[in-house]
Chains A and B, each alone.
Chain A
Amino acid sequence: MPVPTTYFVLFAVALFAIGAAGVLLRRSGISILLGIELMLNAANLALVAFGRQRGSLDTQVFVFFVMAVAAAEVAVGLALLVAIFRARQSIDVDRLNVLRW
């Protein structure tokens, strides 16, 4: 008996919530990037689960795209963080508010 789709979805929701909490609560830039990765992978998991339920491969193509974009995003994001750290000796996002008003 296969694992029901509901389990996958619940697991994806849990992953997403953890990721979102990480983005919202952590102040370190690297932790925020990790949270975003978790949220993306939660979405990937949900996509694959629904694809399996419907017997379709389309969702897996989407997942590949998401992973490619996520890889690019991490590359850009980490580069930004390195630049910020070099400029300010800190990657605390709460202190990145000089352009406020």
Chain B
Amino acid sequence: MLDLLWLVPALPLAGSVVLLAGALRFSQRTTSAVALGSTALSLAVALAALLDFAGGHGATFVQRLFSWIAAGDVAIEFTFRLDTLSAVMLFFVTFVGFLIHVYSVGYMHSEEPRAYARYFAYLNLFMFAMLTLVLGANLVVMFVGWEGVGLCSYLLIGFYFDRDYCAAAGQKAFIVNRIGDFGFLLAIFLALKSFGTVDFAAMQQAIASEPARFAGVLTPIALLLFLGAVGKSAQLPLYVWLPDAMAGPTPVSALIHAATMVTAGVYMVARTNFVYRESPVALLVVAVVGGLTAFFAATIGLAQNDIKKVLAYSTVSQLGYMFLAAGAGAFAAGIFHVFTHAFFKACLFLGSGAVIHAMGGEQDMRRMGGLRKHLPTTYWTFMVATLAISGIPFFSGFFSKDEILGKVFAAGVGDLGGFGSVYLALWALAVAAAFMTAFYMFRAVYMTFHGEFRGDPATAHHLHEAPASMTWPLRILGVGSVVAGFLGVSTALTFGRDMNWFEGILHPIAPSLEVEHTPTLAGEWVLILLSVAVAVAGILLARSFYSGARAFERPRRLAERFPAVYSAVLNKYYVDEAYDRVAVKPLAGLARFSWKGLDTVVIDGTLNASAFFTEIAGDLLRFVQTGNVRNYALLVLFGALAAAAWLLL
């Protein structure tokens, strides 16, 4: 089955092509059959290929499809590569992708057939691009997928393009991502110039065989690649597009902006870990950006009232954790968090979709409350996923987040790259972010599902559990949010026994950086208990703030006592406004100047002036043409005489 690996991305592409070729005229039933069929087949082929791969002995399987670019010494092949790292991604992208396709059938049923077909055409196209990104064996193939997912993200955020804010959000996502893609492109060029190849295996071999020769270019390549990751994975300072991206349909937020696409940056850093591990500076930058983002986004999440905005900032924050792990050299831990996050965050988003579905489009949590009675399945799956993201023991997020905190602390103690104190500070930030995560997630749970309903009576009458096509994906993802964590139980939890299967399989591809002094077993247990205590404290605080008879009273008093802080957090620190003033307005001014000033006056003016002078010259010269035959004859004679004179004299 491994030889059929190319079918995994090709099938969703075929589905998308069929839907688009049908000019979006199919009925909802046909569209669902094409879209679900292609993703289900893709999932089946992926699972079969993974089973084959697990049974085989090779560490990597490379499938060369065709020679793509051949120019002089540079040869770029369109090649897929399956190793344990891409296998992990392949599994959850196809699996979660399929579940979200199923969920979308229920969620989008009220759309008219044309919009329905368009939605699934884009969603299938996204699956193709994401799988190409994951399977690409070199930077250029990865870049194809990278741009493809960006395009689909743009198309799906702006799905309701007749609403201004949706179209604007799509453009914002696309443009902010361009900044990152620019870094990625430069990294590809620099890699081509330095290595002569962009193939991952070939680059790794080149670095391993001649470390001294490439020492100078590794840090620039790593930092440029990271710029791409910062854009795609919504890290500081380019995170601003992700909260706005919630304008798209909720399953899109779950698939693209929580589970898969936004984790592409982490995957790319792990994929090119052979570059990062040689550059302590680049690692430090990755860790600092990740740690700051984890903390910063969590603080914004504290005061958001839109249920999807809370989840969006929580996604930004969790992505920060993943980069923090990668920056601490724990690439496997970062990918493990990507993996568990895909389950619980997809579950949370789909749960919020079920809530919004029941509320008739309302997203403001202040008008919700008490939904637990009406949406029991949504409630318990949302609860499980919330416990997972908060880091409560034996839910998946606990294992992955704890692994990250432990590795960052170890990097601090072990003085990784000579920046030990920085890593310790980042660890403290990450613990604080974990506290806030538990707080704002339980705030969302209490505001949405507990207490009394605060909306209008018409909505209250309408409240209902989602159809089976939506609840079954929720159930499956809810179970996944629990069990996914047991794949990577850290050695400290098992008292030194190595049962960390996840770390084990990723070790040949993305081994963690070793530091000299690691914390003792007792020390690690202190860390684990500390993070659990922090999570429980966050939950209890949320409970005392947003539950019971005096709900909302204390947060209101806090907001009244610190109005400046509250409004800053509520308004996301005015970052969008600052960007608008610093970047958007001047650029719009430059564009206006280029249009009204350069284009209309200088370029059009030059052309119009040359046309004007040509016309004037013609006006003057036409008087030479008298129309009198004898005049012409006389001029001919003069000409002949002049020629004769020239010849004779």
Please list the residues of chain A having a beta carbon within 8 angstroms of any beta carbon in chain B: 20, 23-25, 27, 32, 93-94, 96-101
Q: Are B633 and A24 in contact (CB under 8 A)?
A: yes
For B557, the chain A residues whose CB sits under 8 A away are: none
In the complex with contacts A20-B637, A24-B637, A99-B630 CB distance below 8 A: no
- Binary flags per residue of B583-609, CB closer than 8 Å to A gives 1, else 0: 000000000000000000000000000
Q: Are B630 and A24 in contact (CB under 8 A)?
A: yes
Please measure, in the bound complex, the distance between the C-alpha atom of A7 and the C-alpha atom of B591, giving whole angstroms. Answer: 82
In this complex, what residue of B is CB-closest to A98?
Answer: B627
A27 shortest CB reach to chain B, Å = 8
Q: Does B628 contact A (CB under 8 A)?
A: yes
For A100, the chain B residues whose CB sits under 8 A away are: 625-627
B118 shortest CB reach to chain A, Å = 61
Q: Supply 7 further A-B pairs (C-beta < 8 A) apart from A24-B634, A94-B629.
A: A24-B637, A93-B629, A96-B627, A97-B628, A99-B627, A100-B625, A101-B622
Between A and B, how many residue pairs show CB distances below 8 Å? Answer: 31
In the complex with contacts A20-B637, A24-B637, A97-B627 CB distance below 8 A: yes
B76 shortest CB reach to chain A, Å = 63
Interface residue total, chain B, C-beta cutoff 8 A: 11
Q: Which 4 A-B pairs have the closest CB atoms?
A: A100-B627, A97-B627, A93-B629, A101-B622
For B629, the chain A residues whose CB sits under 8 A away are: 32, 93-94, 96
For B623, the chain A residues whose CB sits under 8 A away are: 101
- 7 CB-based A-B contacts, threshold 8 Å: A20-B637, A24-B630, A94-B628, A94-B629, A96-B629, A97-B626, A97-B627
For A96, the chain B residues whose CB sits under 8 A away are: 627, 629
Please list the residues of chain B having a beta carbon within 8 angstroms of any beta carbon in chain A: 622-623, 625-630, 633-634, 637
Please measure, in the bound complex, the distance between the C-alpha atom of A14 and the C-alpha atom of B628, giving whole angstroms. Answer: 26
8 Å CB contact of A101 from B625, B630, B633: B625
Please measure, in the bound complex, the distance between the C-alpha atom of A23 and the C-alpha atom of B631, giving whole angstroms. Answer: 10
For A99, the chain B residues whose CB sits under 8 A away are: 627
Please measure, in the bound complex, the distance between the C-alpha atom of A84 and the C-alpha atom of B626, giving whole angstroms. Answer: 19
In the complex with contacts A20-B637, A24-B637, A101-B622, A93-B630 CB distance below 8 A: yes
A18 shortest CB reach to chain B, Å = 13
Please measure, in the bound complex, the distance between the C-alpha atom of A27 and the C-alpha atom of B633, giving whole angstroms. Answer: 12
For A27, the chain B residues whose CB sits under 8 A away are: 630
Q: Are B630 and A23 in contact (CB under 8 A)?
A: yes
For A94, the chain B residues whose CB sits under 8 A away are: 628-630
A69 shortest CB reach to chain B, Å = 18
For B626, the chain A residues whose CB sits under 8 A away are: 97, 100
Please measure, in the bound complex, the distance between the C-alpha atom of A32 and the C-alpha atom of B633, giving whole angstroms. Answer: 10
For A24, the chain B residues whose CB sits under 8 A away are: 630, 633-634, 637
In this complex, what residue of B is CB-closest to A36?
Answer: B633
Please measure, in the bound complex, the distance between the C-alpha atom of A24 and the C-alpha atom of B630, giving whole angstroms. Answer: 5
Please measure, in the bound complex, the distance between the C-alpha atom of A99 and the C-alpha atom of B630, giving whole angstroms. Answer: 15
B648 shortest CB reach to chain A, Å = 14
For B634, the chain A residues whose CB sits under 8 A away are: 24
Q: Are B628 and A23 in contact (CB under 8 A)?
A: no
In this complex, what residue of A is CB-closest to B629?
Answer: A93
For A93, the chain B residues whose CB sits under 8 A away are: 628-630
B190 shortest CB reach to chain A, Å = 65
B29 shortest CB reach to chain A, Å = 73
In this complex, what residue of A is CB-closest to B637?
Answer: A20
Please measure, in the bound complex, the distance between the C-alpha atom of A100 and the C-alpha atom of B625, giving whole angstroms. Answer: 7
B566 shortest CB reach to chain A, Å = 81
For B630, the chain A residues whose CB sits under 8 A away are: 23-25, 27, 32, 93-94
Please measure, in the bound complex, the distance between the C-alpha atom of A101 and the C-alpha atom of B630, giving whole angstroms. Answer: 17
B136 shortest CB reach to chain A, Å = 69
B628 shortest CB reach to chain A, Å = 6
For B633, the chain A residues whose CB sits under 8 A away are: 23-24
For A25, the chain B residues whose CB sits under 8 A away are: 630
B258 shortest CB reach to chain A, Å = 75
For A97, the chain B residues whose CB sits under 8 A away are: 626-628
A98 shortest CB reach to chain B, Å = 8
For A101, the chain B residues whose CB sits under 8 A away are: 622-623, 625, 627
B642 shortest CB reach to chain A, Å = 15
Please measure, in the bound complex, the distance between the C-alpha atom of A97 and the C-alpha atom of B622, giving whole angstroms. Answer: 14
For B625, the chain A residues whose CB sits under 8 A away are: 100-101
